[in-house]
Structure 1
Amino acid sequence: MGPSMPPAAPVTWPLLKAPPTPLPQRRLGPFSVSAIGLGCMNICHAYGEPVPEADAARLLLAALDAGVTHFDTAALYGFGVSETLLGKYLGVHRDRFVLASKCGMTGVDLRGDGKRVRVIDGRPATLKATCDEALQRLRTDVIDLYYLHRWDKRVPIEDSVGALADLVRAGKVRAIGLSEVSAATLRRAHAVHPIAAVQSEYSLWTRNPEIAVLDACRELGVAFVAFSPLGRGVFTSSPPDPQALHAQDIRRAMPRFAPEHWPRNLALRARLVALAEAVGCTPAQLALAWVLTRGEHVHALPGTTRVTHLLEDLGALNVRPGADVLAQLDAVFAPGAPSGARYNAQGEDEVDTERF
């Protein structure tokens, strides 16, 4: 069993919805999971210094105790650290949740000096080797949902998906997913092996999936998993200060946080805050509730490092914004309203998603 954890302090935001019990469920491929899952990147990757291991353990176990049954990690996150933490603290509870991880984008020591560089590699042999390593770190003999983290455009999608299908036949993976792909690529992949889920960035200020992928997923019976549904922290009660971000924070390279774009985006956030106050919830809860209204096949996958924020996020499942509020959100955050691209040039080149 995992370590005993003290109760979390309450969130001080005055309009806080508590999580429902039990959490509402949605279909994720062959599985039924909580409509809001937990993305496990933040605990060790991308947003500054990794949190202390005890804090990561507290978060993971609190999520499980709160009824979260969808945990999402990747080989890339902390170059294996996130998978290792899930294996260490949730491995003994393996029958209580659906485990998702990703391959195809990992850290490689290219110079032989111990410093890893992020590499996209979708070759079949690489994907299979990454899976074997992940199974060891996760302390399990099967991964429920295994995503291709990024499509390696040097490798036909059919070849990469074929390798994942081999893992299904070998009993190492139960279902296959894709991340940050277009509707056309999804259809090509689905013709090789059924795709259970597509995971892409989707939020009030990143609505690219509405161009084609959301509808393609609905048509094919594929779940859509929205990562960064809180706009990389912008829609939380304490938005980031771009000037104070950690030197290793990936948002430093994202145009929307640059000085020439940030004031306009902060003004958009203020409109969200006002609407949340009118609804009677926090801005994060309204942003998550909006995502979940986009279709019964849509899942929200926020990430956090704090138990209080986790419980706040789950409270979004008790928020029911009316049609007028949803219409106002759609208008305020219409495509083109946010200032700046979501990724820099390199990041945009690495994804396969449609763009406005």
Structure 2
Amino acid sequence: MVSVRRIKLGSQGLEVSALGLGCMGMSAFYGPPKPEPDMIALIRHAVNSGVTFLDTSDVYGPFTNEILLGKALKGGVRERVQLATKFGILVDDNGRFAVKGDPAYVRAACEASLKRLDIDCIDLYYQHRIDTSVPIEVTIGELKKLVEEGKIKYIGLSEASASTIRRAHAVHPITSTQLEWSLWARDVEEDIIPTCRELGIGIVAYSPLGRGFMSSGPKIVENLSDDDFRKTLPRFQPENLDHNGKVFERVNEIASRKGCTPSQLTLAWVLHQGDDVCPIPGTTKIENFNQNIGALSVKLTPEEIAELQSLASAIKGERYDESLVTWKKSETTPPVSSWKAE
């Protein structure tokens, strides 16, 4: 098994494995929930392999993924991991999403996550999406209180714009920004990545395998269940699928040349972006996890990195459809002392 190095995430002291494990797909969005005993075995296999940075959220399920993690952390596992969870996305009975970030909700969400995870303190607590109706300073102010009370150790933001990150960081140091970054998604490189590096904020790359597309190409769509969230994404639609499949073919050719899999090559590209970057690929199979961990030993030359990046610029389609909030729609109302919760 490949040795997993450790990296410093942000400037406040958090240290994590250089590769993390995204746990969402075990419980939600990517088809039916997977068998709990199998997922607990996978999580513990990851920890025993040196991948100790685990990522979940209260919206995964909702709630069931945190409960799963709570069970997996029993028996001395908790002391060996760095656990990240998130708040801020609500799903109604009709499957519609809403975003919330007022202080009362922040506190209630944190308390509920602590209970489901059955822990005393969350290592890294992210605002999952930005509530644009609440000044970011107000949301971070409540998170700062939770840090002072010992309920969370470090604060993170997910899908936040550069200006939102700056405003948040001025209230309390932000340890990590979670964003979609891969050969499949590079729109964050212009403004957000430089801002994080200027401020000493770590970068956690979610969906580093292009939601599985960079592992298996267009054929992935044939195997998606009817309730798989990816079926709604623009890049998986017929008008973009054939074109993106050609990009995958080129990636696959380079991987064959290097003697690795396309997923290992894609992950290696993310890992080569810097020691402040931690990709968190998700999986529900131990054999896929073992393959992902092999990416840590794939070395890329500057020429190979440039070749891969030229291919990545050809991906067609938006990351999400217009109904879903990303960093492009994360500007909150200005900080005003008169703000009051509705």
Q: Measure the CA separation in 1 of the matches of 2:290 and 2:200.
A: 30
- 1:58 corresponds to 2:33: no
CA distances 1:145-202 after superposition (whole Å, capped 9, x unpaired): 0000000111111111111111101110000000001111100100010000000111
Aligned to 1:37: 20
Do the aligned partners of residues 54 and 238 (structure 1) sit closer, same or farther apart at CA in structure 2, a change above 3 Å counting? Answer: farther
Q: Which amino acid aligns with 1:105?
A: I
Kept after mapping to 2: 8 A contact 1:255/1:344: yes
Q: Which amino acid aligns with 1:27?
A: K
- 1:72 corresponds to 2:49: no
Aligned to 1:154: 133
Q: Measure the CA separation in 1 of the matches of 2:145 and 2:219.
A: 42
Kept after mapping to 2: 8 A contact 1:202/1:209: yes
Q: Which amino acid aligns with 2:323?
A: Q
Q: Which amino acid aligns with 2:67?
A: T
Q: Measure the CA separation in 2 of the matches of 1:134 and 1:142.
A: 10
Do the aligned partners of residues 51 and 240 (structure 1) sit closer, same or farther apart at CA in structure 2, a change above 3 Å counting? Answer: farther
Q: Measure the CA separation in 2 of the matches of 1:204 and 1:273.
A: 13
- 1:163 corresponds to 2:147: no
Q: Measure the CA separation in 2 of the matches of 1:173 and 1:251.
A: 32
Bigger Cα displacement from structure 2, 65-74 vs 84-93: 84-93
- 1:20 corresponds to 2:2: yes
User: Tell me, which stretches of 5 or more residues in structure 1 are unaligned?
Assistant: 1-18, 110-114
Q: Measure the CA separation in 2 of the matches of 1:297 and 1:272.
A: 25
- 1:246 corresponds to 2:221: no
Aligned to 2:88: 104
Q: Which amino acid aligns with 2:122?
A: I
Kept after mapping to 1: 8 A contact 2:217/2:245: no
Q: Which amino acid aligns with 1:74?
A: S
Kept after mapping to 2: 8 A contact 1:164/1:176: yes
Q: Measure the CA separation in 2 of the matches of 1:298 and 1:314.
A: 15
Do the aligned partners of residues 36 and 84 (structure 1) sit closer, same or farther apart at CA in structure 2, a change above 3 Å counting? Answer: same
Aligned to 1:132: 111
Q: Which amino acid aligns with 1:249?
A: D
Q: Which amino acid aligns with 2:321?
A: N
**Equivalent of 2:196 in 214, 217, 232:** 217
Q: Measure the CA separation in 2 of the matches of 1:57 and 1:243.
A: 27
CA distances 1:179-232 after superposition (whole Å, capped 9, x unpaired): 001111100100010000000111102001101111111111110000000000
CA RMSD of aligned residues (A): 1.6
Do the aligned partners of residues 224 and 354 (structure 1) sit closer, same or farther apart at CA in structure 2, a change above 3 Å counting? Answer: farther
- 1:341 corresponds to 2:318: yes
Q: Which amino acid aligns with 2:326?
A: V
Offset at residue 108 of structure 1 (A): 4.3
Q: Which amino acid aligns with 2:86?
A: K
Q: Which amino acid aligns with 1:153?
A: T
Offset at residue 293 of structure 1 (A): 1.2
Q: Measure the CA separation in 2 of the matches of 1:354 and 1:150.
A: 10
Kept after mapping to 2: 8 A contact 1:195/1:222: yes
Do the aligned partners of residues 26 and 202 (structure 1) sit closer, same or farther apart at CA in structure 2, a change above 3 Å counting? Answer: same
